[in-house]
């Protein structure tokens, strides 16, 4: 492990040199690439240096014990060594986690797609609850939410809503929301007070940059049409809505949120690029050794990951057996109590595979 850490520190120093090189400074692409790489290993280097400093202090204190010290001084040195030993162990555990291969998508913005599934209007209303929950969560983290496409039911719910969350590290936390979410509650239209079960699916895609996925203009069919509102009525007489079809994969994306056709096309391209990128990633994941997959989920969007039980104010995440009696708070966007344990579990499993 320490050979790897030394290599990381050496690379950090080399990047310092490169970022001062005039040739790199004048090359915006190289400058961005090296800056991003240095930023990604900065925390590891900082903790490794703190570890080395603590280890050096511990070794110095240990040497002092070999000299003839009076009892009071010897006791002070031993106390210092005990404290340093705890710090060293903490640093070692932190360094193990920092050496886990990082998901290259973690720092990216997120494209989320929520769809009402089983349960008709009640599923659509639940999709609306989920959208509000993620919007509140994004707001709490200082991230910006931007709707791409929505098909509302007119009752405050959504058959489908697609939106972008712009914010550093958004994907690193929201990627665990991928899957089927189940709600158990008494619908407002239920006169008998019976609890109904409905589901909504959530897809979480990292926003892909142009350099990461090669999409040629000749492979895209562009159709324009008039925007429509709930129920299908026309809300715009101009052909501002855009539908993009990626011919090689058959992926279709439409956007009518903006009044400008250019802006709609730009938004639709972001979603199309993310879906094509995700498709390639999903195909690559199928070839990945199943034993190496994280315990927090396979990424299969049909997998039921969480249940929201309204009568008992309870949220249960089935992947890690977590139950929290704070449904009302979770729906207000206080999701970290669910996401933090998922991250810990994910890191633990990845750490096991690294140590194997």
Predicted confidence (pLDDT) per residue in 145-193, tens digit: 999 888 888 777 899 999 999 998 899 999 999 999 999 998 876 667 7
333 in the Ramachandran plot: left (φ > 0), alpha (ψ -120 to 50) or beta?
left
Whole-model pTM? 0.67
Where residue 284 falls among pLDDT bands split at 50, 70, 90?
Answer: low
Mean pLDDT of 18-26: 90
In this predicted structure, the answer to whether residue 54 has a pLDDT above a threshold of 50 is yes
From residue 297, how far is each of 179, 286, 339 by CA, in Å? 9, 13, 13
Where residue 66 falls among pLDDT bands split at 50, 70, 90?
Answer: low
Three-state helix/strand/coil letters over 200-245: EEEEEEECCCHHHCCCCHHHEEEEEECCECHHHCECCCCCCEEEEE
What pLDDT does residue 249 have?
Answer: 87
- Token code pair at residue 248: 């090689």
In this predicted structure, the answer to whether residue 9 has a pLDDT above a threshold of 80 is yes
190, 249, 260: which is closest to 220 by C-alpha?
249
Query: Are 44 and 95 contacting, i.e. CB atoms less than 8 angstroms apart?
Result: yes
Terminal C-alpha separation, the chain: 13
In this predicted structure, the answer to whether residue 67 has a pLDDT above a threshold of 70 is no
- Token code pair at residue 236: 């715009």
What pLDDT does residue 186 have?
Answer: 87
In this predicted structure, the answer to whether residue 305 has a pLDDT above a threshold of 50 is yes
Identify the residue with better confidence: 217 or 114.
Answer: 114
What pLDDT does residue 299 have?
Answer: 44
Q: Name all domains of the chain by residue range, CATH numbers in brackets.
A: 2-98 (no CATH), 110-211+301-355 (3.30.70.1660), 213-284 (3.30.160.20)
What pLDDT does residue 229 have?
Answer: 55
Query: Are 254 and 242 contacting, i.e. CB atoms less than 8 angstroms apart?
Result: yes
Identify the residue with better confidence: 345 or 139.
Answer: 139
- Token code pair at residue 352: 């096991």
Residue 296, helix vs strand vs coil? coil
Q: Which of 44-58, 112-126, 273-287, 294-308 has the lowest mean pLDDT?
A: 294-308
Q: Which of 38-42, 218-222, 320-324, 349-353 has the lowest mean pLDDT?
A: 349-353
Identify the residue with better confidence: 239 or 333.
Answer: 333
From residue 5, how far is each of 8, 52, 56 by CA, in Å? 5, 11, 16
């Amino acid at each position: 492990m320490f050979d790897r850490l030394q290599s990381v520190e050496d690379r950090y120093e080399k990047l310092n040199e490169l970022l001062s090189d005039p040739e790199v400074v004048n090359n915006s692409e190289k400058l961005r690439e090296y800056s991003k790489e240095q930023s990604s290993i900065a925390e590891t280097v900082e903790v490794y240096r703190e570890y080395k400093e603590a280890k050096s202090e511990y070794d110095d204190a240990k040497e002092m014990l070999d000299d003839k010290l009076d009892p009071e001084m010897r006791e002070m040195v031993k106390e210092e060594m005990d404290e340093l030993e705890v710090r060293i162990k903490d640093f070692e555990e932190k360094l193990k986690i920092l050496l886990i291969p990082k998901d290259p998508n973690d720092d990216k913005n997120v494209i989320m797609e929520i769809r009402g599934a089983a349960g008709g209007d009640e599923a659509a209303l639940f999709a609306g609850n989920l959208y509000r929950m993620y919007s509140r969560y994004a707001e709490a983290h200082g991230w910006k939410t931007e709707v791409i496409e929505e098909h509302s039911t007119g009752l405050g719910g959504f058959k489908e809503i697609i939106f972008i969350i712009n914010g550093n590290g958004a994907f690193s936390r929201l990627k665990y929301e991928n899957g089927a979410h189940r709600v158990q509650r008494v619908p407002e239209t239920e006169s008998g007070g019976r609890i109904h079960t409905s589901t909504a699916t959530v897809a979480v895609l990292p926003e892909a940059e142009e350099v990461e996925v090669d999409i040629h203009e000749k492979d895209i069919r562009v159709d324009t049409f008039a925007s429509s509102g709930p129920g299908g009525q026309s809300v715009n007489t101009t052909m501002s809505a855009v539908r993009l079809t990626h011919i090689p994969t058959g992926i279709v994306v439409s956007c009518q949120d903006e009044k400008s056709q250019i802006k709609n096309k730009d938004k639709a391209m972001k979603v199309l690029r993310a879906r094509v990128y995700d498709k390639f990633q999903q195909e690559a994941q199928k070839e990945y050794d199943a034993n190496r997959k994280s315990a927090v989920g396979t990424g299969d969007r049909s997998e039921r990951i969480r249940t929201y039980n309204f009568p008992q104010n309870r949220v249960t995440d089935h992947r890690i057996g977590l139950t929290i009696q704070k449904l009302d708070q979770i729906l207000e966007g206080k999701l970290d109590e669910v996401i933090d344990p998922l991250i810990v579990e994910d890191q633990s499993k990845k750490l096991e595979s690294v140590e194997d």
